[in-house]
Structure 1
Amino acid sequence: MPTRRYLDQRLKLHHLRALEAIAAQSSLLKASAVLGISQPALTRTVQELEEIVGQRLFDRLPRGVRPTEAGNLLAGSARRILAELRRLDEALDRLEDPEGGTVAIGTLPVAATGVLPGTLTRLTAGHPGIRVRLEQGRTEDLLPKLAAGEIDLIVGRLYEPAVPDGFPREPLWEEPISILARPGHPVFALEAVTLDALRRWDLILPTVSQRVGQEIETFLDMVALEPSGSMRSSSYGFIREMLLATDLIAVMPRLMMAGDLLRGMLRVVPLPVPAPRRPAGIIMPRDRPLPPAGHAFIECLRAHVAEIGQRGLTDITGAHREAGESDTTEGRERV
């Protein structure tokens, strides 16, 4: 007969937080820094846990640790329990302030610099009591957090899942790979922009995630632009300054610079080349409703995306209109 562990009586919240942190960081040292405790104290907590459950929870590796099967089982439960406690905390906040609340948003890198700033500006103006928690990452890293309830929704590029995962996806806009330059750039003085003409200017490219990087490389091959002599940077601020101050041209997802395009600080270089479709939007949880603050955020996101679409910077999909042909590298208006 299995040993009775009495987990409901013996497990404490600090055990669950330790499990979650170690599983996420794969390192006792990093997890102790995240939790704000010493590594020896965290090691004692792990020893307590292993005594309570009667099994080894982590295998020690030359660099870091790896959860055992039992460790993964407990870490998954710890994430769900802690997420439920956070949602309870937020529900109690809503009782005190019905106009407030919290929304936890997972965001992909392009959306984080593109559509989120304008969306959050609207949210703050219309719902000043709502608090926002942001977590940036890749889709494959954010989906487990969405499943566990650690975040309420994901915003960004809607990559096709390798296998069906049951998460509702709603496309709202397109994020075409485009060529950007400052408004006074000599390229806009040409009677017609040709691929040969574009080769006169050097490129500046973002250092981005693997999938976006591959899409940029595919686009460069398609338009026969040579990336070997290009400048690359992971800093969007640096890329922006170089675009504004020089004759460099950039190749990137267009809405990565949505704010500057809306303000007229940058323009899309027109090309008669169809850009591959890159639908973006929201990924919703499978089995729970959004909090009221989540609905308020989505309302502001739709409004901001609609404004971007009205300015000719992107095609609007989903609830705004039926998905149509893919966008091209030229906006419908010169901006």
Structure 2
Amino acid sequence: MTPLLNLRHLSAALEIRQLGSISRATDTIHLSQSAITQGLSKLEKELNFEIFARSHDGLNPTPAGDIFLERTQTAINFLRRMDSLLGKRDNKSAPLYRSLTASQLRALLTVVEQGSYTLAARHLKLAQPTVHRAVQDAESICGHRLFSTSPSGLEPSWHARQLARYIALFFAELSQGIEEVQEYHGRMTGRLRIGCLPLARTRMVPRAVVNLLDEYPEARLSIIDGPYEEQLHALLHGRLDIIVGALRDPPPSPDIEQRALFKDSLSIVVRPGHPLEKRGSVSAGELQRLDWIAPREDTPGREAFTQFFENNGLSPPEHVIECSSLVATRGVLMESDRAALLSARQVEVDVSSGLLSVSSRHLQDTGRTIGIAHRKGWKPTLVQQRFIERLEQEV
């Protein structure tokens, strides 16, 4: 968890970097020189490295300090968006990132994520009244009611959800800054959270992960699967760093960038001994009459499945089991004469083990672009960049 660094102290450090001295920063931060000096000292103690080198010329960022402050500026920029989101607040000219505390930000974020004060308090290991009071204070400063109660529980407003996203990205960027400083000092303990779509789960991502850990054994990696919509939400809120798998066209959000790695076609996958296994010539009409296991609606795989039959002047098959789980798909295929439309890469382990078979019938026009999605403007740490390089080597 990112340490709760004082927002005013972070703002003061940014002003000192720009202006070169504590005395010049007092006018913009509205703190005394002694308060800024004490705050800076506390900040460096919490971070366990010097942000500035002191000299007769003033204060200049250390190499580690420069790395951290660059990330801090990006993090603060996320919080700056809160003011434009909420609009003008009566008689309150100070920006929200200088009015709210880190504790209030974390409480607000956690209540939105957990959906209740009780669960948020348990998550933060705080008393429930403490969390409730922090959120109430945040609402007062923001000038908006951010939560309402309903029969289903606590309901965050649209503003609360948007604020939570900016806050989550703020904390994520600060964590990146701390990890980058650790990398500068030779400690490769950075974190990478990978959203993994079906094709990437079998070998591509696991191999890249193993190779990365051979190089950086102390790196902290998480592989997260689940529906694309959930992974996209986590990516946009800073809980994932990248998503690896089939890219969406058009991109699902203006805040997402997609990077292609390779093109992949789909194949007919059946059980060993299936009547289609060795047949190289199978008409589209015969395929239409089969019972199928297909990807769920609104996925690139299902679009390719539908497009194949439509390109052949046929309506898509009706007897379809929708399934996004390779384990469940394998089980159904092994126990029936159904066929599945999958990437040959996705089932190569099962094929080599003799559990499944890929038909020699080639399906045209079922190509999908496989690649990486990340937040626009995302800057990877060294550990994260090395994973992407490892991934590129795998494909």
Q: Which residue of 1 aligns with 2:372?
A: 282
Q: Unaligned regions of 5+ residues in structure 2, if any?
A: 1-89
Q: Which residue of 2 aligns with 1:229?
A: 319
Q: Unaligned regions of 5+ residues in structure 1, if any?
A: 306-335
Question: Identity of aligned pairs, percent?
Answer: 28
Letter of the 1:124 partner, please give it: L
Q: Which residue of 1 aligns with 2:105?
A: 16
Relative distance call for 1:164 and 1:196 in structure 2 (3 A) is closer
Matched-pair contact (CA < 8 Å) for 1:102–1:131: yes
Higher RCO structure, 1 or 2 (CA under 8 Å, sep 6+): 1
Return the offset for 1:40. 6.1
CA distance in 2, matches of 1:77, 1:285: 13
Question: 2:299 pairs with 207, 211, 218, which one?
Answer: 211
Q: Which residue of 1 aligns with 2:242?
A: 153
CA distance in 1, matches of 2:139, 2:173: 24
Q: What is the RMSD computed on CA atoms of the aligned residues?
A: 3.9
Matched-pair contact (CA < 8 Å) for 2:278–2:360: no
CA distance in 1, matches of 2:317, 2:172: 44
Q: Which residue of 1 aligns with 2:196?
A: 107
CA distance in 2, matches of 1:122, 1:98: 18
Return the offset for 1:291. 1.0
SS in 2 for 1:105: strand
Matched-pair contact (CA < 8 Å) for 2:251–2:257: no
Letter of the 1:91 partner, please give it: E
Question: 2:137 pairs with 48, 53, 72, which one?
Answer: 48
SS in 1 for 2:221: strand
Residue 182, structure 1, aligned to residue 278, structure 2:
no
Residue 291, structure 1, aligned to residue 378, structure 2:
no
Relative distance call for 1:189 and 1:5 in structure 2 (3 A) is closer
Taking structure 1 as the reference length, what is the TM-score of the superposition? Answer: 0.70
Q: Which residue of 2 aligns with 1:192?
A: 281
Letter of the 1:268 partner, please give it: V
Return the offset for 1:200. 7.1
Relative distance call for 1:106 and 1:226 in structure 2 (3 A) is closer
Return the offset for 1:180. 0.6
Q: Residues 188-226 of structure 1: CA distance to partner in whole angstroms, max 9, x if unpaired?
A: 2436333455467533334x3633474165147446586
CA distance in 2, matches of 1:163, 1:247: 36
Relative distance call for 1:258 and 1:89 in structure 2 (3 A) is farther
Matched-pair contact (CA < 8 Å) for 2:192–2:221: yes
Return the offset for 1:156. 1.9
Matched-pair contact (CA < 8 Å) for 1:176–1:276: yes
Give matches, 1:61-80, under 5 Å.
61-63=150-152, 64-69=154-159, 71-72=160-161, 74-80=163-169
Relative distance call for 1:82 and 1:267 in structure 2 (3 A) is same
CA distance in 2, matches of 1:109, 1:33: 33
Matched-pair contact (CA < 8 Å) for 2:262–2:369: yes
Q: Which residue of 2 aligns with 1:241?
A: 331
Give matches, 1:83-102, under 5 Å.
83-95=172-184, 97-102=186-191
Q: Which residue of 1 aligns with 2:221?
A: 132
Greater C-alpha Rg: 2
Taking structure 2 as the reference length, what is the TM-score of the superposition? Answer: 0.61
Letter of the 2:303 partner, please give it: E
CA distance in 2, matches of 1:74, 1:281: 30
Return the offset for 1:279. 0.7
SS in 2 for 1:269: strand
